């Protein structure tokens, strides 16, 4: 079972601690010392799929040198500001990477392995694109 504990610090500042005792600071934008709660969802989505994509490409013994995922989301303009669409832009850096391999790794993550993506797509649209940067 997944588990996280949220502990109030003061004002609108919190510490989120996961089951392995790793923590993240959470706050409102006004507090300015931690991640916004709603953007933690974007970070969870991006990091979940990043974990998978790196693992899949490394299993194929490809020369991956870097991965950055920029996650954006569209929300309703009125409370509760429901997320309606998530978009992930993958920037994959490596040597001799083929678009087919990168696309397959992303598709496998988003359709089969990433629990966050598979949960979110039940309620919102998920789209992605990618670019490959050649590293020497």
Half-sphere exposure of 53 (CA within 13 A, CB side): 29
Report pLDDT for 32.
87
Report pLDDT for 90.
98
Q: Map tokens 């993550």 to a residue.
A: 109
Report pLDDT for 1.
86
The one-digit pLDDT tens for each residue of the chain (136 residues) are 889 999 999 999 999 999 999 999 999 999 889 999 999 999 999 999 999 999 999 999 999 999 999 999 999 999 999 999 999 999 999 999 999 999 999 999 999 999 999 999 999 999 999 999 999 7
Report pLDDT for 57.
96
Cβ distance 67 to 90 under 8 Å?
yes
> Using one digit for the tens of pLDDT, what is the confidence trace for 59-82?
999 999 999 999 999 999 999 999
């Amino acid at each position: 079972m997944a588990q996280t504990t949220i502990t109030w610090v003061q004002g609108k500042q919190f510490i989120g601690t996961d089951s392995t005792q790793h923590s993240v600071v959470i706050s409102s934008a006004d507090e300015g010392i931690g991640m916004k709660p709603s953007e933690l969802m974007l970070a969870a989505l991006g990091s979940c799929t990043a974990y998978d994509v790196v693992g899949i490409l490394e299993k194929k013994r490809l020369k991956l040198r870097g991965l950055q995922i920029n996650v954006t989301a569209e929300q309703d303009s009125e409370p509760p500001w429901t997320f309606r669409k998530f978009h992930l832009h993958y920037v994959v850096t490596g040597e001799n990477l083929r678009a087919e391999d990168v696309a397959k790794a992303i598709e496998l993550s988003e359709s089969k392995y990433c629990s966050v993506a598979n949960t979110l797509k039940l309620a919102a649209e998920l789209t992605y694109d990618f670019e490959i940067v050649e590293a020497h």
